[in-house]
Structure formats: C-alpha cells, structure tokens
Amino acid sequence: MNICHSLNERRRIGKKSIAVLVDPDKIEDVGQLSPLLRLASENCVDFFFAGGSLVTTNNLSAVIGAIKESTSIPIVLFPGSAMQIEPSADAILFLSLISGRNPDLLIGQQVAAAPILKNTSLEILPTGYILISSGKTTSVAYISNTTPIPEDKYSLAACTALAGEMLGLKIIYLDAGSGAEREVNQKMINAVRKSVEVPLIVGGGINTPQKAFRALEAGADLIVIGNALEKDPQLLTEIADTVYEWNQQLTSQ
C-alpha cells in the first residue's frame, strides 16, 4: 500500500484516520503490547507509528515484529533521529523540524539517513514537522533544542506549513509533544489546514474522544494517540469510535 497516496485519497473525500503511537522506550517486554494490538485490530486503527524523542533501548525491531505478528496494520517509523531506522517497518516519516532553527534537524539528520534509507524498501514520507507550545516543556522540545511555535501565533504556523509545502514536503505534522498538557487548539489546526493542501497530521495530548473530535473538526486528517493509551488502552475504543462515526456520516450524506 502506498501510504502517501492513500492519505491524499482519504483527504480528497474527507475521510479521517487514526494512528496509534508506540514508544519503544516504554515497552519493557513486547508481550505487554498484546492488549493494545488486539484493540487496534478490533477498532480498525489505520496506522501504527513507532518511535520516540529519546530511544534508549534497542527494541524497536522487536516492537515492530510484535505488531506485524498480530496485525496487518501498516507501521510508520516516527524517528527521533537518523539512528532510528528499522527496515522491517512499512514507511518512515522523513521529518524536517521546520518550526525550529536547528540545522541538524532541518537537514543534518536527513543527510545521514538518506543513504541508509536508499537501501531499504521503506516508503519515504517527506513531512514538515511543526511543534506547537503546550504548557510545560515537552521532551521533544527539550531534545530538539528548538522553541515550539507559541500556541496563539496562528499565522506563524500557517506560513511555516505553507513554506514546507512549497519546498515539496508531502505531509504536515502539527505536534504539541507527547503527553502535552494542552493539545493543539482548534484555531491553530484550522489556520494551518487553510494554508496547505497536503494531508495534516495532528498529535500530542489527545486523550479524550472530545479532544479527538475537536481536532478532526478543525481539519486534522490523521490524529495520533500515544501517551493516553499507555495509561489506558481501552480508551482506544472510544477515540476510534469518534473517527469511525465521522467517516460514517460521510457515507450517509
């Protein structure tokens, strides 16, 4: 399956998607993933994202192996650095942190990763990654040594996304950071939505069906849920239902 094509097709018809983020650092034993994998299959989750800001363990391939063994849901790497490449996944968010001014994350890591990726069959998803402030400093803001865009600077985020699209990036990812106190607000999502045509991913701090709905309503094409499911995997059913209901209402129109 070509993931970029599929995201664009869904966007064209207004269909929304949901991804579950698994941070390998938080998994001591892949067996602990079982309940989440079962729920993800039952609830027709569209993608798994795998990665984290700080991968200190080397169980990324074991985590991907466990996901593959029990589901056929596509796995997209969401790397914190060029070191986090695992060829057994299906695709990789080839991120450029365009909200920051850290050259290493704008182009340096990508230069290191490109020749490695060339020898894999991973689908490359060129993605403009935009961090939005969300209260407390998040791991990703700290590790990336960049300042997130203030959550009320809508036009700054919109122009950043537009520049990313003009540079040829195929996806924009608005992230408040994992476990964010405040998710990306609707006005921000909407401002960015209006500025670009490419699929829009939104994540960080989405931990209730209401927050998920607000992100979809404001224009997110794909929402990413990670932290909240580490605490309560059952929450996936409620959040996935929100996406399902949104998509159902399209078919009944």
Number of chain positions touching ligand 1GP (CB under 6 A): 14
Q: Residue 20 Cβ, how far from ligand 1GP at the closest point, in Å? A: 9
Contact 176, 184 (CB under 8 A): yes
CA distance 67 to 64: 5
Residues within window 190-229 making contact with ligand 1GP, judged by CB under 6 A: 203-206, 224-228
Q: Residue 121 Cβ, how far from ligand 1GP at the closest point, in Å? A: 25
Q: Mark 43-82 with x for binding to ligand 1GP (rule: CB under 6 A) and - for no binding.
A: ----------------------------------------
- Given the complex with ligand 1GP, which of 90 and 175 has the nearer CB atom? 175
Closest CA to 194 of 210, 172, 225: 172
Q: Is 128 in the site for ligand 1GP (CB under 6 A)?
A: no
The residue number with the shortest CB distance to ligand 1GP is 203
Closest CA to 209 of 245, 156, 165: 245
Alpha-helix runs per DSSP H in the chain:
3-13, 34-42, 60-70, 103, 109-118, 139-144, 154-166, 186-195, 209-218, 227-231, 235-251
Residues within window 136-175 making contact with ligand 1GP, judged by CB under 6 A: 175
Q: Residue 174 Cβ, how far from ligand 1GP at the closest point, in Å? A: 9
- Given the complex with ligand 1GP, which of 206 and 249 has the nearer CB atom? 206
Contact 158, 219 (CB under 8 A): no
Q: Is 178 in the site for ligand 1GP (CB under 6 A)?
A: yes
CA distance 4 to 12: 12
Q: How many CB atoms lie within 10 A of CB 226?
A: 23
Binding stretches for ligand 1GP (CB under 6 A): 21, 175, 178-180, 203-206, 224-228
